[in-house]
């Protein structure tokens, strides 16, 4: 496949690439994660028991809870964080947390629902400084 | 972003490294949300429990605290959200000495920054409620939604790092709910079933939060005819923020920006969704658990007011909590003093409950406490708490304060 470019709002954090983990569910570091094991722990979450470590995590929006702002920093300090998180629309907390953690984060995609545009397993490059996410490879299954 | 001379000086490091960091952090966040400038804020409130901070976060704060006093002290009154430890009781809860040691390090660093360790998420009831129109940098979603909605203040959700940046600089990026244009209602709900009691108000907040589901949407609520109390608004707001990331609601006839529906939206173009009795029943029913052995009953999230503490003490009068069940009542350090002075805490503890101060259950290494104490089935009257705690390995259920007490005495969910 040729690469697919997805334009979004300018984000925060460094340029990164990795494998996508996608859900149309929402995200909170406090509510949803076992941060020690690096997995989604909330039984009702659509990614329950999945590892998010080093993934390009693609979710719908952020849920309540201000703790995620510190938690992204803490997770990154142990190398147990996603490489990037992409949202349809994020709340202030997660963006603030990404700024402290120096984690790549983007939202507001021009072409619609990012949880449909990117598939789990896609190899994705994220460039927050110019608001660009590129799907580099997609395994046909 | 436009900066004034003082902000340029802070960004250049002329007022010390902590303020330079704060400015850099706020510019990143401001650019993300298209802020044109910074707005002066009069108070900051910071969520900073050590479970969230971890070793890395504590080291970060200690590095800021190592700077000269003139460079590190916050410039506006800055207070704290609940912590993870009540030093009088952490061993009873089977929290570890390592947790307590990390907490002490964090407190030392925050005090060096000039922060008042109020350790409360009900500062709007106990410390200094903001005035209508006051711009703030508040953390804790329950604090923000209450102050925006019930008191007419202006704050975004500020996570710990951003609240700290605001405290150091006296500014926060002007975006989101600092702008009047973003405070009009975008969703409309009509309540067909009057809430009765705090868990009902929490359930209403949860239902509206679930349906709204976005920080950037503002619900307006019609149909309430009974005067709500501060505790009612507290539980509704905390649940709405928890379930929906909502930071502002309007309650027609009761909140200051909504004397009538026309003040917050054009009712001709905004269709109302009903919230009826069946929605409440479905919400409570989604947690289930009737007849299950109960490990722990928790009154927390938000911390209890003195009125809630007395209600709980009255319900526990002459009763005894089941030997296999733990009952925790969690309040602020300020309320705890009064509760003891009035004999309220003594009555709760005479019934076998434990009063904790300055912490909040879910901010207190809840997973580790569950493993150490063998706690799984949790009951609370807080919709916010039951929403959060499932991710920590608990099986939560929601009930009224009265039913929580009956269940605690019976040792099973009644």
Q: Is the pLDDT of residue B57 over 80?
A: yes
What is the Cα–Cα distance from B71 to B300, expressed in whole angstroms?
37
Q: Please indicate whether, in this complex, the C-beta atoms of B242 and A100 are within 8 angstroms of each other.
A: no
Rounded average pLDDT over B283-299: 93
Q: Please indicate whether, in this complex, the C-beta atoms of B391 and A97 are within 8 angstroms of each other.
A: no
Q: Is the pLDDT of residue B147 over 60?
A: yes
The partner residues of B173 in beta bridges, in order of sequence, read: B38
Q: Please indicate whether, in this complex, the C-beta atoms of B161 and A69 are within 8 angstroms of each other.
A: yes
Whether residue B367 sits in one domain with residue B311: yes
Please tell me the predicted confidence (pLDDT) of residue A60. Answer: 95
Q: How many CB atoms lie within 10 A of CB B290?
A: 13
What is the Cα–Cα distance from B36 to A48, expressed in whole angstroms?
39
Helices (H) and strands (E) in chain A, counts: 4, 9
- A-chain residues within 8 Å CB-CB of B288? none
Please tell me the predicted confidence (pLDDT) of residue B345. Answer: 98
Q: How many CB atoms lie within 10 A of CB B323?
A: 7
Percent of chain A with pLDDT over 90: 85
Instruction: Tell how strand A16-22 and strand A123-127 pair up.
Output: antiparallel
Fold of domain A4-137: Glucose Oxidase; domain 1 (3.50.30)
Whether residue B140 sits in one domain with residue B65: yes
Percent of chain A with pLDDT over 70: 98
Whether residue B159 sits in one domain with residue B23: yes
pLDDT averaged over every residue in chain B: 97
Rounded average pLDDT over B194-209: 97
Q: Is the pLDDT of residue B180 over 70?
A: yes
Please tell me the predicted confidence (pLDDT) of residue B288. Answer: 80
Q: Which domain holds residue B32?
A: 5-180
What is the Cα–Cα distance from B225 to B256, expressed in whole angstroms?
16
What is the Cα–Cα distance from B404 to B414, expressed in whole angstroms?
8
pLDDT band at A140 (very low <50, low <70, confident <90, very high): low
- A-chain residues within 8 Å CB-CB of B60? 73, 100
What is the Cα–Cα distance from B334 to A58, expressed in whole angstroms?
42
Which tokens hold the place of B8? 């340029």
Q: Does B29 touch chain A (CB under 8 A)?
A: yes
The number of domains in chain B is 3
Whether residue B254 sits in one domain with residue B292: no
Q: What is the pLDDT of residues A9-27, one digit of tens each?
A: 999 999 999 999 999 999 9
Map tokens 């709340």 to a residue.
A91
Q: Does B243 touch chain A (CB under 8 A)?
A: yes
Count contacts between A and B (CB, < 8 Å): 139
Q: Please indicate whether, in this complex, the C-beta atoms of A31 and B387 are within 8 angstroms of each other.
A: yes
Which of B257, B284, B311 is at the close of a domain? B284
Please, which residues have CB within 8 angstroms of residue A25's CB and are 6 or more apart in sequence?
A: A45, A46, A47, A59, A60
Whole-number CA gyration radius for chain A: 14
pLDDT band at B390 (very low <50, low <70, confident <90, very high): confident
Which tokens hold the place of B374? 């063998």
Whether residue B34 sits in one domain with residue B146: yes
Q: What is the pLDDT of residues B333-383, one digit of tens each?
A: 999 999 999 999 999 999 999 999 999 999 999 999 999 999 999 999 999
Rounded average pLDDT over B386-397: 92
**Closest chain B C-alpha to A139 CA, distance in angstroms:** 32
Which of B141, B163, B180 is at the close of a domain? B180
Which residue, among B245, B368, B386, would best test binding to A if mutated, counting the most A CBs under 10 Å from its CB? B245
Please tell me the predicted confidence (pLDDT) of residue A64. Answer: 66
Q: Please indicate whether, in this complex, the C-beta atoms of B162 and A30 are within 8 angstroms of each other.
A: no
A8 to chain B: nearest residue by CA? B32
Q: Please indicate whether, in this complex, the C-beta atoms of A61 and B159 are within 8 angstroms of each other.
A: no
Indicate the SS3 state at residue A7.
Answer: strand
Whether residue B226 sits in one domain with residue B158: no
- B-chain residues within 8 Å CB-CB of A63? 242-245
Q: What is the pLDDT of residues B205-253, one digit of tens each?
A: 999 999 999 999 999 999 999 999 999 999 999 999 999 999 999 999 9
pLDDT band at A31 (very low <50, low <70, confident <90, very high): confident
Which tokens hold the place of B98? 């390592």
What is the rounded end-to-end Cα distance, in angstroms, of chain B? 57
Q: Please indicate whether, in this complex, the C-beta atoms of B245 and A9 are within 8 angstroms of each other.
A: no
Q: Please indicate whether, in this complex, the C-beta atoms of A33 and B391 are within 8 angstroms of each other.
A: yes
- A-chain residues within 8 Å CB-CB of B18? none
Whether residue B125 sits in one domain with residue B22: yes
pLDDT band at A63 (very low <50, low <70, confident <90, very high): confident
- Is there a contact between A133 and A86 (Cβ–Cβ < 8 Å)? yes
Q: Is the pLDDT of residue A112 over 80?
A: yes
Whether residue B134 sits in one domain with residue B11: yes
CA dihedral (B2, B6, B10, B14) positive or negative: positive
Q: Is the pLDDT of residue A48 over 90?
A: yes
Whether residue B162 sits in one domain with residue B142: yes
Nearest to B60 by CA among A103, A99, A73: A73
The partner residues of A89 in beta bridges, in order of sequence, read: A61
Q: Is the pLDDT of residue B74 over 90?
A: yes
Instruction: Tell how strand B187-191 and strand B171-173 pair up.
Output: unpaired
**Closest chain B C-alpha to A141 CA, distance in angstroms:** 32
Please tell me the predicted confidence (pLDDT) of residue A109. Answer: 98
Q: Which long-range contacts (CB under 8 A, 24 or more apart) does B290-294 make?
A: B290/B413, B290/B414, B291/B412, B291/B413, B292/B377, B292/B395, B292/B397, B292/B412, B292/B413, B293/B324, B293/B377, B293/B411, B293/B412, B294/B322, B294/B325, B294/B377, B294/B378, B294/B379, B294/B407, B294/B408, B294/B410, B294/B411, B294/B412, B294/B413
pLDDT band at A1 (very low <50, low <70, confident <90, very high): confident
What is the Cα–Cα distance from B146 to B125, expressed in whole angstroms?
10
Q: Please indicate whether, in this complex, the C-beta atoms of A74 and B54 are within 8 angstroms of each other.
A: yes
Q: Can you give the CATH number for the domain in which B159 is found?
A: 3.30.499.10
Q: Please indicate whether, in this complex, the C-beta atoms of A65 and B141 are within 8 angstroms of each other.
A: yes
For residue A27, the 8-state DSSP code is B
**Closest chain B C-alpha to A28 CA, distance in angstroms:** 10
What ranges do the domains of chain A cover?
4-137
pLDDT band at B60 (very low <50, low <70, confident <90, very high): very high
Interface subset of B 150-179, CB within 8 angstroms of A: 156-162, 176
Rounded average pLDDT over B252-260: 98
- B-chain residues within 8 Å CB-CB of A45? 391
Q: Nearest Cβ partner of B216 from A43, A44, A89?
A: A89
Rounded average pLDDT over B96-122: 98
Whether residue B188 sits in one domain with residue B150: no
Q: Nearest Cβ partner of A96 from B52, B161, B243?
A: B161
pLDDT band at A141 (very low <50, low <70, confident <90, very high): low
Q: Please indicate whether, in this complex, the C-beta atoms of A64 and B49 are within 8 angstroms of each other.
A: no
CA dihedral (B1, B140, B20, B167) positive or negative: positive
Whether residue B313 sits in one domain with residue B346: yes
Please, which residues have CB within 8 angstroms of residue A68's CB and are 6 or more apart in sequence?
A: A28, A29, A30, A62, A93, A94, A97, B159
**Closest chain B C-alpha to A98 CA, distance in angstroms:** 9
- B-chain residues within 8 Å CB-CB of A71? 52, 54
Which of B180, B206, B230 is at the close of a domain? B180
User: Exposure pattern of A64-103 as b/e (b: 16+ CB <10 Å)?
Assistant: bbbbbbbbbbbbbbeebbbbbbbbbbbbbbbbbbbbbbeb
Whether residue B219 sits in one domain with residue B138: no
What's the Cα-to-Cα distance from B99 to each of B31, B50, B113, B174, rounded to whole Å? 36, 8, 22, 37
Q: Does B136 touch chain A (CB under 8 A)?
A: no
What is the Cα–Cα distance from B270 to B316, expressed in whole angstroms?
46
Peptide bond into A10 cis (omega under 30): no
Please tell me the predicted confidence (pLDDT) of residue B316. Answer: 98
């Amino acid at each position: 496949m040729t690469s697919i470019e997805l334009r979004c709002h300018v984000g925060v954090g460094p340029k990164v690439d990795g494998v996508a983990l996608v859900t149309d569910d929402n995200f909170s570091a406090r509510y949803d994660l076992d941060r020690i094991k690096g997995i989604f722990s909330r039984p009702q979450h659509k990614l329950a028991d999945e590892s998010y470590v080093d993934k390009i995590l693609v979710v719908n929006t952020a849920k309540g809870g201000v703790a995620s702002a510190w938690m992204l920093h803490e997770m990154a300090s142990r190398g147990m964080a996603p490489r990037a998180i992409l949202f349809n629309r994020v709340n202030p907390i997660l963006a603030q947390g990404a700024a402290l953690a120096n984690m790549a984060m983007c939202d507001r995609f021009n072409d619609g629902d990012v949880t449909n545009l990117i598939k789990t397993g896609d190899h994705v490059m994220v460039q927050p400084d110019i608001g660009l996410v590129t799907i580099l490879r997609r395994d046909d299954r | 972003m436009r900066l004034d001379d003082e902000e340029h000086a802070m960004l250049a490091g002329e007022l010390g490294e902590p303020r330079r960091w704060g400015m850099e952090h706020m510019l990143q966040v401001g650019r993300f949300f298209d802020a044109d400038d910074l707005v002066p804020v009069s108070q900051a409130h910071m969520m900073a429990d050590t479970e969230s901070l971890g070793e890395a976060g504590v080291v970060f704060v200690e590095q800021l605290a190592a700077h000269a006093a003139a460079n590190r002290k916050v410039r506006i009154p800055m207070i704290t959200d609940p912590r993870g430890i009540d030093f009088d009781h952490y061993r009873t809860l089977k929290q570890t000495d390592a947790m307590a040691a990390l907490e002490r390090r964090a407190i030392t660093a925050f005090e060096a920054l000039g922060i008042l360790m109020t350790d409360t998420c009900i500062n709007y009831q106990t410390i200094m409620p903001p005035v209508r129109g006051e711009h703030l940098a508040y953390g804790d979603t329950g604090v923000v939604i209450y102050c925006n909605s019930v008191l007419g203040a202006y704050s975004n959700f500020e996570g710990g790092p951003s609240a700290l940046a605001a405290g150091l600089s006296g500014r926060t990026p002007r975006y989101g709910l600092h702008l009047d244009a973003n405070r009009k209602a975008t969703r409309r709900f009509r309540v067909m079933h009057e809430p009765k009691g705090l868990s009902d108000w929490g359930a209403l907040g949860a239902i509206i939060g679930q349906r709204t589901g976005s920080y950037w949407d503002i619900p307006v609520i019609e149909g309430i005819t009974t005067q709500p109390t501060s505790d009612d608004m507290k539980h509704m707001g905390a649940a709405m923020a928890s379930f929906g990331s909502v930071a502002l609601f309007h309650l027609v006839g009761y909140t200051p920006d909504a004397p009538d529906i026309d003040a917050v939206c054009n009712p001709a173009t905004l269709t109302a969704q009903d919230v009826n009795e069946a929605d409440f029943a479905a919400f409570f029913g989604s947690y289930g658990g009737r007849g299950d052995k109960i490990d722990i009953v928790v009154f927390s999230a938000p911390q209890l007011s003195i009125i809630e503490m007395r209600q709980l003490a009255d319900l526990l009068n002459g009763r005894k909590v089941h030997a296999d069940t733990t009952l925790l009542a969690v309040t602020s350090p300020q309320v705890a003093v009064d509760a003891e002075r009035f004999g309220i805490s003594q009555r709760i503890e005479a019934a076998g409950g434990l009063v904790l101060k300055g912490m909040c259950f879910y901010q207190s290494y809840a997973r580790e406490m569950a493993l150490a104490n063998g706690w799984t089935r949790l009951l609370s009257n807080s919709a916010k708490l039951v929403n959060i705690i499932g991710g920590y390995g608990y099986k939560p259920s929601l009930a009224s304060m009265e039913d929580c007490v009956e269940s605690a005495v019976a040792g099973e969910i009644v």
